[in-house]
C-alpha cells in the first residue's frame, strides 16, 4: 500500500497587484499566502509518508523575475528528497518551461516531463507507471492525450495532464480532450490541472482536478488544497481532499428583508461574518460583503454610505481575522401601500388594481 499527493495550479509568487488601494488590506499576508500553502503541501507529504507528489501544471506564474522564487522551490524539493519523496511535474500554460529547465538545477527526486512528447516513468518498487507531457508553449490547442501511450499491463497507471477537458467556465480551453479519450488509455488515475475549482470528474477511472492550493483573489473562493490518494494492490482505496490554504476568500450575502432598524442590520451583518469565519476554520478570511433584500433602510444605506461602511468595517475589525475586500449595496426600497397610491406610475396603478381585486 502507498499514498501519493496530487496538486496543481500553485502559481508560486503570483504578482498580486493593486492590493494597496484596498482599505486595511493585509497585503503581506495575502502575498505570502501561496508560499505558506505550498509549505503545508510539503509538510503534509512528509507527515503522511507520501511515495510521490504530482504537480499538474502552472507551478509558476509566467516568467518569474525574482530568482528567489526558484531558490524557494528548489529548497522545498530538497526537503521532499530528504524524506525520500519523488516529485513529478508537467508544465502548464502559465509556466515558463524552458526557463525552469534552463535556469534551475532540479534535485534528482524531481522529474519534469518533456514538452516534446509524452513520456513514461516506471516505479518498479511500487508497480506504478506515470505518464505525462508538458506544455510546449503558453497556448496549446491540440489534444495532448493522443500522444499518451496505453497503460502498462499489470501496473497502476497514472496520467499527469494540464487540460481544460472539453471546457470549463472561466478557463481557457487549452489542451482540450474528452473523457472517452482519457478512459481509452486504460489508466487507473488521471491527475489533472488547470481548473482552479476542485472537481471529481469521474470515479471509473478516477479523474480529478484538485483545484489550486490557495485562493488568490475574490474569484477563487472557498476551501483550497490538494488530493491524497491511497492505493492498495493496484486499486484506489481512498481519495481525500486536504485543505491546505492559509487564507480564505468568500462572498457573504446578507439578507436584509424586513430589516427595520440600524441595530438589526448590524446584528445580521455580524452574524453572517461570524458564520463565514467559522467556516474558514481559524484561517484569516477576506470577504466581499453584499447586502440585499427589500428593506426600509434602503434609502439610509445609500444616503449615508460612508457611515455604514465604517460600521461594517468596524465589525470586521472586531472579529480580528476578517477583512472586507469590498462592500456592495444591492438592497431595494420597501414600498408602502400609500406610496404606491400617490405615485401614479403605470406599475403603481397595476399594483393597486391587484390589491383591489384581492380585497374585493
Question: 297 CB contacts (<8 Å, ≥6 apart)?
Answer: 256, 259, 260, 261, 262, 265, 331
Reading the block at residue 309, the C-alpha cell is 461602511
Radius of gyration of the chain (CA): 26
**CA pair distance 63, 71, nearest whole angstrom:** 15
- Tell me: pLDDT of 19 over 90: no
Contact between 3 and 49 under an 8 Å Cβ cutoff? The reply is: yes
pLDDT of residue 261: 95
- Tell me: pLDDT of 342 over 60: no
Reading the block at residue 263, the C-alpha cell is 441595530
**CA pair distance 306, 206, nearest whole angstrom:** 51
Write down the mean pLDDT value for the chain: 88
**Which of 130, 140, 135, 136 is closest to 110 using CA atoms?**
130
Contact between 112 and 70 under an 8 Å Cβ cutoff? The reply is: no
pLDDT of residue 23: 75
Q: What SS3 state is found at 1?
A: coil
**CA pair distance 251, 223, nearest whole angstrom:** 13
Q: What SS3 state is found at 108?
A: coil
pLDDT digits (tens, 9 = 90+) for 209-267: 999 999 988 999 999 999 999 999 999 999 999 999 999 999 999 999 999 999 999 99
pLDDT digits (tens, 9 = 90+) for 180-191: 999 999 999 999
**CA pair distance 156, 318, nearest whole angstrom:** 52
Kindly list the structural domains of the chain, giving each domain's residue range(s) and its CATH number in brackets, ordered by start.
2-243 (3.60.21.10), 248-338 (no CATH)
Q: Could you tell me where the DSSP H helices lie in 196-345?
A: 262-279, 298-303, 305-318, 337-343
Lowest mean pLDDT among 5-9, 92-96, 107-111: 92-96
Dihedral over alpha carbons 48, 190, 195, 280 (to 10 degrees)? -30
Which comes out higher in pLDDT, residue 98 or 195? Answer: 195
pLDDT digits (tens, 9 = 90+) for 128-170: 999 999 887 667 767 888 899 999 999 999 999 999 887 666 5
Positive or negative CA dihedral for 265, 267, 270, 271?
negative
pLDDT of residue 98: 44
Give the number of residues written for the chain: 360
Amino acid at each position: 500500500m502507498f499514498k501519493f499527493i496530487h496538486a496543481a495550479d500553485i502559481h508560486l509568487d503570483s504578482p498580486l497587484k493593486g492590493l494597496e488601494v484596498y482599505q486595511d488590506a493585509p497585503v503581506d499576508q495575502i502575498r505570502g499566502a501561496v508560499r505558506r500553502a505550498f509549505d503545508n503541501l510539503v509538510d503534509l507529504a512528509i507527515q503522511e509518508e507520501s511515495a510521490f507528489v504530482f504537480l499538474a501544471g502552472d507551478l509558476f506564474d509566467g516568467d518569474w523575475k525574482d530568482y528567489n522564487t526558484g531558490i524557494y522551490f528548489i529548497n522545498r524539493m530538497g526537503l521532499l528528497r530528504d524524506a525520500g519523496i519523488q516529485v513529478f511535474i508537467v508544465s502548464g500554460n502559465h509556466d515558463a518551461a524552458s526557463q525552469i529547465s534552463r535556469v534551475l538545477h532540479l534535485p534528482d527526486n524531481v522529474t519534469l516531463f518533456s514538452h516534446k512528447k509524452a513520456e513514461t516513468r516506471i516505479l518498479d518498487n511500487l508497480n506504478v507507471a506515470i505518464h505525462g507531457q508538458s506544455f510546449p508553449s503558453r497556448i496549446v490547442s491540440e489534444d495532448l492525450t493522443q500522444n499518451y501511450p496505453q497503460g502498462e499491463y499489470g501496473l497502476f497507471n497514472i496520467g499527469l495532464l494540464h487540460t481544460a477537458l472539453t471546457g470549463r467556465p472561466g478557463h481557457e480551453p487549452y489542451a482540450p480532450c474528452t473523457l472517452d479519450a482519457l478512459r481509452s488509455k486504460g489508466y487507473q488515475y488521471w491527475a489533472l490541472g488547470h481548473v482552479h475549482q476542485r472537481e471529481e470528474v469521474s470515479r471509473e477511472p478516477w479523474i480529478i482536478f484538485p483545484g489550486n492550493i490557495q485562493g488568490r483573489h475574490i474569484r477563487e473562493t472557498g476551501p483550497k488544497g490538494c488530493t491524497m490518494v491511497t492505493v492498495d494492490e493496484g486499486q484506489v482505496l481512498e481519495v481525500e481532499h486536504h485543505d491546505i490554504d492559509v487564507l480564505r476568500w468568500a462572498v457573504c450575502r446578507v439578507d436584509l428583508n424586513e430589516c427595520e432598524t440600524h441595530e438589526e442590520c448590524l446584528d445580521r451583518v455580524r452574524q453572517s461574518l461570524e458564520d463565514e469565519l467559522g467556516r474558514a476554520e481559524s484561517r484569516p478570511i477576506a470577504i466581499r460583503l453584499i447586502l440585499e433584500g427589500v428593506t426600509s433602510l434602503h434609502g439610509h444605506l445609500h444616503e449615508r454610505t460612508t457611515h455604514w461602511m465604517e460600521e461594517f468595517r468596524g465589525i470586521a475589525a472586531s472579529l480580528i481575522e476578517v477583512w472586507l475586500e469590498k462592500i456592495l449595496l444591492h438592497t431595494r426600497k420597501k414600498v408602502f401601500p400609500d406610496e404606491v397610491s400617490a405615485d401614479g406610475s403605470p406599475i403603481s396603478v397595476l399594483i393597486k388594481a391587484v390589491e383591489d381585486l384581492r380585497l374585493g
